[in-house]
Amino acid sequence: MPIISKEGLVTNGNGKIIIIANTDNAENAFALYHNAETLGIEFSSYSDGRGFTLAKRLRLLGFAGRLRAIGPLIPDQFAESLDVGFDEVEISDAQLERQPAEQWFAALKTFTKTYQSGGQKQSIIAARWANK
């Protein structure tokens, strides 16, 4: 499976990874896997944002390893995934064929705000309030 990373690379998935569901409890996952080199969070669909919250909470708890979003995310969500703490996104070969890496990296320049607050970028809500 192709992996698109924040470093601008597209590689094939290999190596040791622990995979958890996006419905898992962050505190429990951190207690079990805080020393993991790579932790993957599975997304059931691109419209299920629980994995973004889980990644952000794991980072706030102190998880320092690589975080990989696994599943049918779309390029429009790449900037958001990096902002909440993911290092990379793993998608299917078919999806990479439909949405090449260039689209994923172009989306980083397109989306300058995020949905969740407290990240590296200004949230959409904060931007709206700032303009009032």
Please list, in sequence order, all residues whose beta carbon lies within 8 angstroms of the beta carbon of residue 99, skipping any fewer than 6 positions away. 74, 75, 91
User: Cα separations (Å) of 131 from 6, 109, 114, 127?
Assistant: 30, 22, 16, 6
The answer, as to whether pTM is greater than 0.85, is: no
| pLDDT given at position 117 | 60
* Summary mean pLDDT of the chain: 88
Per residue in 47-79, pLDDT tens? 999 999 999 999 999 999 999 999 999 999 998
Whether residue 116 has pLDDT greater than 90: no
Confidence (pLDDT) at 70: 96
CA-based torsion, 98, 106, 88, 4: positive or negative: positive
Give residue-wise pLDDT tens across range 71-110: 999 999 998 899 999 999 999 999 999 999 999 999 888 8
What is the rounded CA–CA span in Å between residue 108 and residue 89?
Answer: 13
